[in-house]
Structure 1
């Protein structure tokens, strides 16, 4: 017979197991990081930039295109518009001409011009550090803000892009689909000082090994820490 007492007891046992499971997952996440840090020792962004202004604009432009494509256009863009002030004063047509090949170029041009105006008028031409202030910039979401916080300022930053979401789900570090939920769940598994390194390592692993359609599980450096190979046979 199922009684209230037995149900309560099961509830106690279930909640008692959860911290242990979370601790085991956290330990595995740290082990994943240790392996991937050796595999990908250079954890800098693939986007080319010389300063905070350039990285911010490059990350905004990277939406729905490749970093390689962004690098091809930003060389000319930054040569013509080298500062926040020059971008803020540029016309829509001027900016579109440089970034046309990145896709969604009209909205991107509007966003980076508007972001430059906000940087000039509210932040003295400087890229801010806080999440709230970064999110106030046109074209900046949490992913872009976390790239800036981690790469420029050395702050804790979980960067959720398609590669990161795919790999962390395959590793069973999260089952979430929403980027913010993935960010919070993975962040809880790792020390804050490891967040940015983990993000970059996992991103690279998704690019070079754990591909969307044909993951290279046979050569995967973290195969022993991942349940995905068992799922695909």
Structure 2
């Protein structure tokens, strides 16, 4: 609550200063239509305009880290409340058949496809299926492997399907933390080049797959594109 009040105060102050700045221009224009402005009046008007603008920008830049951290926590808390989406019959054979049908090319244990995007030129998807006994370790090693593999594309996303004989609560906690962090980072930091990832945990005994869907139909983040790709091909 304290942080929310601080954000409201900061943004309210900035908005007020912007209004004062543009109000001074509008007032000056109105005066000029009714009478001739003196040199002192013009100087005062310009001082109010530029002074208000510079002060507003100074407030924004000085509080940038605070505002960014607030927005990050706000989005993360929102995504943390989402339930995992489930996909049935997520077998390796079925997944491979669908990817081949959609013209993904096999290369060094990845299925790879580049798709055009109006918002991001093109996105290269790297799909990898892997068995695991330790989800956390598998994610770390696969991330390192992926970062070393792709270095020539502007936008790349790893779709990592991890198959386990038994999924523990700790595995779902790791999946949630990782997915929330990735989706929130993608929302706030849109750099070029950029890489992202979406992890799906699969119970090999039941062939049920789980992932965190951010539920945005028109998201232009890499994580959002990945969610739509999963739903398009497998749900």
Structure with higher strand content? 2
TM over 0.5: no
TM-score, normalised to structure 2, is 0.32
Structure with higher helix content? 1
TM-score, normalised to structure 1, is 0.32
Bigger radius of gyration: 2
